[in-house]
Amino acid sequence: MESIAFGIGITALAGALAAVAGAAENTESDIGSQGDPNSQVQLAPQMGYLHRIFNKAIAGEPPAYGLWVALGAGLAWAFMAMHVNPILAIVLGCALAVFVQGVYATTAYLGRIASLSKFGQPVFIDVLKSMTTVTMAHAFVAIFTTVTICHLINAALGHPFPLPLLGLVWGIALGAAGSATGNPFYGKERQYQTQKFGAGVPIAASGNIVRYAEAGERNSLDNGWFSAKLGGPASGLCFGLIVFLELWRTVLFEKVGAGWGAIVVGIIMILIFTVIDRYIEVWARKTYGPYTEPAKEGS
Amino acid sequence: MTAIGAKPAAGATMDIPSTIAGIILLIVIVGATYFLVGPGMMFYALLGVIIGGLLISFGVHFVPVGGAPAAMGQAPGIATGVAMLAAGAGLAGLFGGAWAAEQGLAVAVITGAVGGGLMMAITCMFVTFIYVFGMGIPSASGKVAKDPITGDTQTEYKSQGTEGHGLPFVSYVGGVTGGILGGGGGTLIYIMLLDVYKEALPAMMKAQAAQVVPIAVSLAGIFAIGMFLVNAVLTAYNITGTIEGPHDPKFKRFPRALVASAVASALCGMVAILIVAM
């Protein structure tokens, strides 16, 4: 009984850490414009819209986070092997991994923006100076919490994978969840605030991103502020639920029916999420109603 | 890629000479492995790895991915890359499957499948949540007039100038199915390789069985993740850009990816097995 209570406690802690990780990851990727909407930031100067937005997407979020979390976890693992206290080892490992993220952010921003110089897009050194540190800070929160989850799963719950491998698995899962959930909010709601709310962005508007914010020209710190309202927390909740439910069903029901208990609970949870999804979909169709017949005039 | 360049083309036809070449290559690799390791556990492990690779490759076709256009509400699907999302789901499944490895092949593979499906179910539900409550957009498919599962009509919910948006129910089901197949396939590869390494490493390293378990687990895990990415990326090239799910015309391209995936999995599997067998 005690071991189950311990397992549930670790599961809850891991779920809470995952929620923080997801929120930080999404905010970091939106400040750095690393998610899928980055193509619009890249496209804007070609369409004649110069901007002051960071753009560091040279690889997708999931592989990039897979690298950074695996790096943080691997270094933490090495420090632990040198008999460093686990908490200190994780902090040190993640701090070193964040420097790699910082180098990546710097070179990616310079490379991506410099490639647009033929369209008149300058490299803003003040953007680089002020925003790289902010993405690094958010990345540290995301990497630290994810490596801590991996350590809890490995040391306290006894998962067979070593820490670096768990780091790779959960780093990729973190990037996938954050990229899928939070990016549309930044992509459509933030970059296209001139477009009507409650409709998709017409393909003809590609590249015409909003470049001015509440106080002067928009920069990526404004994007971080905006994402932290909904996209970040939703990504956090998404990743938190994935980690929590995956661990919860295993810790509580693995022993039931020689492993089949966890499978049945997993299937029930999939069905519950399917019902919720369908409910939201039907609610949206009823509430927003059908759009009028496609009109002849432009959007 | 931009939405402008994302015009889908069906292209489900098989390139016959390439297919035959692929099948011959597959037979050569499987035959060579049989010749080198003989009939037995290692040879069956290779077959298991190939089946796992096929499951992953087939599963990736189900995952609705809209890329950058989806992030602007210009196309339906999840706003990320095919390989990345499928890898995220499959690896979450592999995590669960590896945990259940001691409980037998069937339980472990199904646990992995359910883990991948659960990850996709939660992610897809949140994608719908953000589209509906964050952006005020109902789901609408650009590829079919009616949702094949619910029968909901699509066109009148599509905003002008877009190819549709959100995650229609059929895409949601596709996402979960893809997660299930990917998680199961990845776990199958892991278990097959784990058995091989547990069997071969003690003699090779002159150590006791219990001592090699951490090495066997790590090695099998790394190879399973690697083969997962090989199959996911290979399939992403077959899909080229975006796909809405099983109702998308691009879904019909899957036989091409299955042939390529079988060859790639066989080659990777042969290498993974021969490093301890030779």
Give me the residue from B117, B165, B222 closest to A165, CB to CB. Answer: B222
Q: Is A192 in Cβ contact with B72 (below 8 Å)? A: yes
How confident is the model at residue B6, as a pLDDT? 47
Chain B interface, best mutation among A169, A208, A299, by max B CB count within 10 A: A169
Please enumerate in sequence order all residues whose Cβ is within 8 A of that of A67, keeping only pairs 6 or more positions apart, or say none: A100, A171
DSSP code, position B3: S
Residue scoring higher pLDDT (B91 or B52): B52
Q: Is B221 in Cβ contact with A161 (below 8 Å)? A: yes
The answer, yes or no, to whether residue B5 has pLDDT greater than 80, is no
How confident is the model at residue B145, as a pLDDT? 87
Confidence of residue A293 (pLDDT cuts 50, 70, 90): low
Percent of chain A residues past pLDDT 70, beyond the cut: 97
Contact B114, A266 (CB under 8 A): yes
Three-state DSSP class for residue B87: helix
How confident is the model at residue A59, as a pLDDT? 78
Give me the residue from B69, B101, B130 closest to A185, CB to CB. Answer: B130
Q: What is the pLDDT of residues B193-251, one digit of tens each?
A: 999 999 888 888 888 888 888 899 999 999 999 998 899 989 988 988 889 999 999 89
Please enumerate in sequence order all residues whose Cβ is within 8 A of that of A78, keeping only pairs 6 or more positions apart, or say none: A93
Q: Is B115 in Cβ contact with A266 (below 8 Å)? A: yes
How confident is the model at residue A255, as a pLDDT? 83
Contacts of A238 in chain B (CB under 8 A): 122-123, 126
How confident is the model at residue B159, as a pLDDT? 86
Across the range A144-167, mean pLDDT stands at: 93
* The most confident of A95-104, A205-214, B2-11, B233-242, by mean pLDDT: A95-104
Confidence of residue A36 (pLDDT cuts 50, 70, 90): confident
How confident is the model at residue B103, as a pLDDT? 85
How confident is the model at residue A292, as a pLDDT? 62
Closest CA–CA distance from residue A232 to any residue of chain B (Å) = 11
Q: Is A185 in Cβ contact with B136 (below 8 Å)? A: no
Cα–Cα distance, A38 to A209 (Å, whole number): 11
Please spell the DSSP secondary structure of B169-226, one letter per residue.
Answer: HHHHHHHHHHHHHHHHHHHHHHHHHHHHHHHHHHHHHT--HHHHHHHHHHHHHHHHHH
Contacts of A281 in chain B (CB under 8 A): 128, 132, 138-139, 166-169, 172
Three-state DSSP class for residue B2: coil
The answer, yes or no, to whether residue B7 has pLDDT greater than 70, is no
Q: Any chain B CB within 8 A of the CB of A162?
A: yes
Task: Establish, for the pair of chains A and B, how many residue pairs have beta carbons separated by less than 8 Å.
Answer: 305
Residue with tokens 């997407």: A57
Closest CA–CA distance from residue A35 to any residue of chain B (Å) = 8
- Its pTM stands at 0.93
Q: Is A176 in Cβ contact with B84 (below 8 Å)? A: yes
Cα–Cα distance, B153 to B146 (Å, whole number): 4
What sign for the dihedral angle of Cα B253, B259, B263, B268?
positive
Chain B interface, best mutation among A11, A152, A185, A188, by max B CB count within 10 A: A188
How confident is the model at residue A109, as a pLDDT? 93
Confidence of residue A297 (pLDDT cuts 50, 70, 90): very low
Q: What is the pLDDT of residues B111-151, one digit of tens each?
A: 999 999 999 999 999 999 999 999 999 999 988 888 889 98
b/e code B23-58 from CB counts within 10 Å (16+ = b)? eebbeebbeebeeebeeeebbebbebbbbbbbbbbb
Q: How far is CA B158 from CA A283, B66, B143, in A?
A: 16, 15, 11
The answer, yes or no, to whether residue B17 has pLDDT greater than 60, is yes
Q: Is B81 in Cβ contact with A184 (below 8 Å)? A: no
What sign for the dihedral angle of Cα A211, A213, A218, A223?
negative
Q: Any chain B CB within 8 A of the CB of A181?
A: yes
Please report the ipTM that was assigned to this predicted complex: 0.93
Give me the residue from A160, A266, A280 closest to B217, CB to CB. Answer: A160
The answer, yes or no, to whether residue A299 has pLDDT greater than 70, is no
The answer, yes or no, to whether residue B4 has pLDDT greater than 50, is no
Average pLDDT of chain A to the nearest whole number: 90
How confident is the model at residue A57, as a pLDDT? 82
Please enumerate in sequence order all residues whose Cβ is within 8 A of that of A215, keeping only pairs 6 or more positions apart, or say none: none
Contact A170, A150 (CB under 8 A): yes
Q: Is A237 in Cβ contact with B130 (below 8 Å)? A: no
How confident is the model at residue A25, as a pLDDT? 94
Confidence of residue A295 (pLDDT cuts 50, 70, 90): very low
Residue type, A213: A
Across the range A81-93, mean pLDDT stands at: 95
Q: What is the pLDDT of residues B61-79, one digit of tens each?
A: 999 998 888 989 889 999 8
List all residues of chain A from 247 to 266 with a beta carbon under 8 Å from chain B.
249-250, 254, 258-260, 262-263, 266
How confident is the model at residue A195, as a pLDDT? 86
Please enumerate in sequence order all residues whose Cβ is within 8 A of that of B125, keeping only pairs 6 or more positions apart, or say none: A273, A274, A276, A277, A280, B172
- Within 10 Å of residue A97's Cβ, how many Cβ atoms? 27
- Both structure tokens of B141: 């498919």
Contacts of B168 in chain A (CB under 8 A): 281
The answer, yes or no, to whether residue A7 has pLDDT greater than 70, is yes
Please enumerate in sequence order all residues whose Cβ is within 8 A of that of B173, keeping only pairs 6 or more positions apart, or say none: A274, B149, B245, B246
Q: Is A60 in Cβ contact with B161 (below 8 Å)? A: no
Closest CA–CA distance from residue A201 to any residue of chain B (Å) = 6
* Closest C-alpha to B86, from B238, B212, B205: B238
